[in-house]
Amino acid sequence: MDLPLGDGSVSVSLPSCSVDVARPPGGDAIDPRHAAASAMDKPHGPPLAGLVDSTDEVAIVVTDVTRDTPDEVLLDVLFDHLPVPRETVTIVVGLGLHRPMTDAELRDGLGEYADLAVNHEPDSVVSLGAVDGCPVAVHPAVADADVVLSTGMVEPHQYAGFSGGAKTVTIGAGSESIIRYTHGPEMLSRDGVRLGRVRGNPFRETLDRAGLIAGPDFCLNVTNGPDGFLGAAAGDPTSVVRSLAATARDALSVSVETDYDAVVCGVGAPKDANLYQATRAATYVALGDRNPLENTDADDGGRLVVPAALPEGAGDGSGEKRFFDAFSTATDASSLYESMRAGYEPGAQRAFVVARVLRDHDVYVTNSASPDVVESCLMSHRESPEDAIEPGGRVLVVPDALSTLLV
């Protein structure tokens, strides 16, 4: 079978193994432009026209290169409903602690709107209030705007349950303070903070409360599946996420009826650009509702195999660098996990979560352009998935690990 690798694919053959494939139902693919336009006509809450005056300054926070959001399409639809001159709109790229997007990436992702875009700088923010004593601070253009809008992709997220909604603004255009609080070990250890859950999830609820302070006032989000986009929703951010999360959950859930010795976790572009992002494939599988390796008889606790191109190595953003620093100075996963329970810098939470998985399972990264980076992070590199899997075992292949909910 073919699995995603970068912008292409890699062929995988495991003839000596007993192989099952986790393919979610997928749902019916829709045209994102048509769906977004329809969503704007039937928003959750007041329509955009009722929120924006012709004299308002508007900020629109969009997703960065790590999300496969059709931002240019969503911006087209939003601008069709905005009663303000183009020059009164600032587009802020919600980077969080990821690297800035290049001019070429901005043109590719935003098209004719690239000239309105600025990359977020988490060190240059304006405080607007606080949640749980933590400052809520955002990019100056967002803080100064009369109305804050956002695009977004509602897809499974390790901590928020699903991404999108207020997260695009409060994290994407937010400060290290809110990222440190929401991504710290105390928050990530709370009941309810898990993949696929939005109700009763303290992480998601914190972002939604921060969104009442900083925005967005109105969002336009989509959700996707293995065969394309599944739906769009507009309006109140919390309602939008809950609506699209329900759509995604129905389309992406796969029941796991047995246990396995290894799981091949497909990821592909844009998430396999660096190790920080690509490890999501392993943690989404191991820390979801149903871990297929939980009761394995394998001596190593079962293997998670991730084909990933890694052209950027560990990654170039401050969060990615902290992830690599945490791993490259560690001797083993258990001691790293225990030491990080006392706290860590924003961005290093991915090391905390990966270390949690590595305590019980081995992670193999294959087909990578950065084998030394992989080996420096307590993981193993192999040339191919076949090289990473012992013959004769039971193997589950999850072609799209980031868009599959194992239940």
Q: Are residues 247 and 264 in the same domain?
A: no
pLDDT score of 300 more than 90: no
Instruction: Read off the pLDDT of residues 393-403 as tens digits, 9 standing for 90 and up.
Output: 999 999 999 99
| Structural domain ending residue among the three candidates 251, 284, 313 | 251
- Given a contact cutoff of 8 angstroms between Cβ atoms, the answer to whether 314 and 354 are in contact is no
pLDDT score of 297 more than 90: no
Identify the pLDDT of residue 299.
83
Q: Are residues 98 and 207 in the same domain?
A: yes
In a domain, 27, yes or no: no
Question: Within 10 Å of residue 265's Cβ, how many Cβ atoms?
Answer: 33
Identify the pLDDT of residue 375.
98
Angle (nearest 5°) at CA 69 between 67 and 70: 150
Instruction: Read off the pLDDT of residues 135-156 as tens digits, 9 standing for 90 and up.
Output: 999 999 999 999 999 999 999 9
Identify the pLDDT of residue 66.
87
For residue 156, what are the β-bridge partners? 162
Q: Are residues 355 and 325 in the same domain?
A: yes
Percentage of the residues of the chain whose pLDDT score is greater than 90: 96
In a domain, 368, yes or no: yes
- Given a contact cutoff of 8 angstroms between Cβ atoms, the answer to whether 361 and 301 are in contact is yes
Identify the pLDDT of residue 144.
98
| Structural domain ending residue among the three candidates 185, 218, 251 | 251
pLDDT score of 167 more than 90: yes
Identify the pLDDT of residue 347.
86
Amino acid 103 reads D
| Number of alpha carbons in the 13 Å side-chain half-sphere of residue 30 | 18
**pLDDT band per the 50, 70, 90 thresholds, residue 88:** very high
Q: Determine the Cα–Cα distance for residues 73 and 66; give it in Å rounded to an integer.
A: 17
Instruction: Read off the pLDDT of residues 267-277 as tens digits, 9 standing for 90 and up.
Output: 999 999 999 99
**pLDDT band per the 50, 70, 90 thresholds, residue 199:** very high
Number of domains in the chain: 2
- Given a contact cutoff of 8 angstroms between Cβ atoms, the answer to whether 281 and 155 are in contact is no
Instruction: Read off the pLDDT of residues 345-354 as tens digits, 9 standing for 90 and up.
Output: 988 999 999 9
Q: Determine the Cα–Cα distance for residues 279 and 275; give it in Å rounded to an integer.
A: 6
Identify the pLDDT of residue 208.
98
Domain assignment of residue 119, given as a range: 32-251
Q: Are residues 9 and 37 in the same domain?
A: no
Q: Are residues 188 and 272 in the same domain?
A: no
In a domain, 386, yes or no: yes
In a domain, 217, yes or no: yes
DSSP code at position 375: H
Instruction: Read off the pLDDT of residues 353-385 as tens digits, 9 standing for 90 and up.
Output: 999 999 999 999 999 999 999 999 999 999 999
The mean pLDDT value of the chain amounts to: 97
Question: Within 10 Å of residue 254's Cβ, how many Cβ atoms?
Answer: 17
Selection from 214, 209, 168, 218 nearest residue 50 by Cα: 218
In a domain, 243, yes or no: yes
Q: Are residues 305 and 238 in the same domain?
A: no
Identify the pLDDT of residue 322.
96
In a domain, 363, yes or no: yes
Cβ partners under 8 Å of residue 314, min gap 6: 274, 275, 276, 320, 321, 323, 324, 370, 373, 377
How much is the average pLDDT of 153-164?
A: 97
206 or 295, which is more confident? 206
Identify the pLDDT of residue 226.
83
Residue 308 belongs to a domain with what CATH number?
A: 3.90.226.30
Q: Are residues 153 and 238 in the same domain?
A: yes
Q: Are residues 80 and 103 in the same domain?
A: yes
pLDDT score of 305 more than 90: yes
Residue 71 belongs to a domain with what CATH number?
A: 3.40.50.11440
Number of H helices, E strands in the chain: 16, 20
Residue in this structure with the two tokens 């709370």, named with its chain if needed: 190
pLDDT score of 170 more than 90: yes
Percentage of the residues of the chain whose pLDDT score is greater than 70: 100
**pLDDT band per the 50, 70, 90 thresholds, residue 207:** very high
Identify the pLDDT of residue 385.
98
In a domain, 319, yes or no: yes
DSSP code at position 276: H
Q: Where are the alpha helices (DSSP H) in 134-188?
A: 140-144, 167-170, 176-182, 185-188
Instruction: Read off the pLDDT of residues 213-265 as tens digits, 9 standing for 90 and up.
Output: 999 999 999 999 888 999 999 999 999 999 999 999 999 999 999 999 999 99
Cβ partners under 8 Å of residue 161, min gap 6: 194, 195, 196, 197, 198, 201, 203, 204, 245
In a domain, 286, yes or no: yes
pLDDT score of 298 more than 90: no
Identify the pLDDT of residue 403.
92
For residue 218, what are the β-bridge partners? 149
| Structural domain ending residue among the three candidates 251, 270, 303 | 251
Amino acid 235 reads G
Q: Are residues 282 and 199 in the same domain?
A: no
86 three-state secondary structure:
helix
Q: Are residues 247 and 269 in the same domain?
A: no
Q: Are residues 9 and 113 in the same domain?
A: no
Q: Are residues 143 and 95 in the same domain?
A: yes
